Amino acid sequence: MTLENCPQVLIDRKEIEVAVQRLANEITRDYKDKHPLIIVMLKGSFIFAADLIRRLDFPLEIEFLRLSSYGEKKESSGSVNIVQGLHVPIKDRHVLILEDIIDTGHTISFLMNYLGKMRSASLKLCALSDKPSRRQVPITIDYLGFTVPNKFIVGYGIDWDEKYRYLPDICVIE
């Protein structure tokens, strides 16, 4: 990776805005009377979550969870670590997870197993983007923004080695 590898826009901010509103409409339809607990996956989902949650005009609570599997590599290691765990019980709560990207599926598979033992009333996944060509474990995505090609995606919260999260569009780097 060199500075010459300039990120190219794949999905621009207007398209993102339209998709986030669509997701907000779907989530409002399904959760407006359920007082859900929304779990935001750090760090990558922070911008997506901030934009989406401001469009949800009904009672909800927000928690943050941080897992890590990539480190400085572009490839998932397959071994997922809990960096910051949950501090509230989810038993009998309607839980909705917000993720920025589903790639191999290892991270969300680990999380679903972890949370799946906690007897929530329901457990669903909303992902901004999905890269199905890379999947190694099957994942059900209940609410999806975009399907993306098998390229390295950065921007709108998503990093490469902690860089590029600040980009307002979803971009690709070679």
Instruction: Note the residues at the interface with ligand PRP (CB under 6 A).
Output: 41-44, 68-70, 76, 99-107, 159
- Single-letter code of the amino acid located at 149: P
First to last CA, the chain: 8
103 catalytic per annotation: yes
Q: Which is nearer to ligand PRP, 69 or 122 (CB)?
A: 69
Closest CA to 156 of 167, 145, 144, 172: 167
Q: Which is nearer to ligand PRP, 51 or 99 (CB)?
A: 99
3-class SS of residue 105: coil
Q: Give the shortest CB-31-to-ligand PRP separation in angstroms.
A: 22
3-class SS of residue 121: coil
Q: Give the shortest CB-53-to-ligand PRP separation in angstroms.
A: 17
- Residues 89/9, Cβ–Cβ less than 8 Å: no
Q: Which of 100, 103, 142, 161 is catalytic?
A: 103
Q: Which is nearer to ligand PRP, 6 or 138 (CB)?
A: 138
Q: Give the shortest CB-29-to-ligand PRP separation in angstroms.
A: 26
3-class SS of residue 75: coil
Q: How far apart are CA 140 and CA 138, in angstroms?
A: 7
Q: Give the shortest CB-51-to-ligand PRP separation in angstroms.
A: 16
Q: Which is nearer to ligand PRP, 27 or 125 (CB)?
A: 125
Question: Distance of CA 47 to CAs 24, 122, 156, 158, Å?
Answer: 14, 25, 6, 9
List residues with catalytic annotation. Answer: 103
